[in-house]
Amino acid sequence: MAVDEPFLAPNIGRPAEKVGYFPDRDAFDRFAAAYLDGLAALPEPDETAAVTTTFGPVRGYRFGDGDGIPLVLLSGRQASTPMWRANLPGLRAHRTVWSIDSIGEPGASSQHRPLTGAADQATWVAEALAGLGIERAHLLGVSIGGWLATQVALRRPECAASVTLLDPANTFAPLTWKMIVVSLGSVIPGMPTAIRHRLLGWISGGVRSSDALPEGRLIASAMRDFSSAQPMPARPTAAELSGITVPMLAVLAGRSIVHDAARAAETARTVPGARVELWPDASHAVNGEFPDRIAECFTDFAAAIG
């Protein structure tokens, strides 16, 4: 379904239900301007779609029209489709790529019903894929998007041809105190923009975030202007991980502040047949640091699957 308006019934003003929202029109307008600037920096989508799920409408963008099973991108916390600017050229060279803005996160999708846990998260992804006409997808997620892809592999495995996890948060190891501080900084009202950028700089291994980059401006706006209402994502149990049957590629960032990368890699190797790589020079912002390497790694991994 082609549409001109990117934002799907956004929640502006505190809603009665426990869902994500923009506190007022000014907050939404600031975020919308940053989102549209970020979108303009991407390759032109070949299709823009809106699909209905139990938990709200989902915005999806299709890039390319390649062969094989499509690839679906799942963004990180406080992020949305524009975060994939560096990755899209390499990924869409080999197959059709869809990016969907996550329900419960600031983006063009909108949350209209509370998410009570991991089962709800996996359900909205499965419903979004069905609405896009995708029977099975390769799922590639970064940070909390990696956690989300893992939940689909656990709870709706029929939807996933494979999952590629880029430094997934709270999936293979506990969150560090630094990551908890960054998370708190994303929800404290009135936090100065300079401090928000400093917190984002921790994620990228000390490289300072800036409004000069569309992604930095967008995520800083999301932290300032959007109120999330999601429960803390539960880390999968050892039994759950050992029972995953979906092919998995896990890339752990050696300089990540999210978790102990070596510990996370060790746990990831308990997933049957998982391909696990520890990249010592990568930070949690691995998708922007190594876009070509990620595209090559994913293409090699997915080639045998379809």
User: Where do the domains of the chain lie?
Assistant: 25-303
What is the pLDDT at residue 194?
A: 58
Each residue's pLDDT, cut to its tens digit, for the chain (306 residues) gives 344 579 999 999 999 999 999 999 999 999 999 999 999 999 999 999 999 999 999 999 999 998 899 999 999 999 999 999 999 999 999 899 999 999 999 999 999 999 999 999 999 999 999 999 999 999 999 999 999 999 999 999 999 999 999 999 999 999 886 665 665 555 555 555 655 555 555 555 444 544 567 888 898 888 889 999 989 899 999 999 999 999 999 999 999 989 999 999 999 999 999 999 999 999 999 999 999 999 999 999 999 999
Helix axis angle for 193-203 and 214-225, nearest 10°, is 120
Determine the pLDDT at residue 1: 37
Name the pTM for this structure.
Answer: 0.92
What's the CATH number of domain 25-303, 3.30.2390.10, 3.60.20.10, 3.40.50.1820, 3.40.50.450?
3.40.50.1820
Q: Is the dihedral of CA 23, 27, 29, 34 positive or negative?
A: negative
Nearest to 71 by CA among 52, 53, 84: 84
Q: Are 18 and 227 in contact (CB under 8 A)?
A: no
Contact 102, 36 (CB under 8 A): no
pLDDT at 233: 93
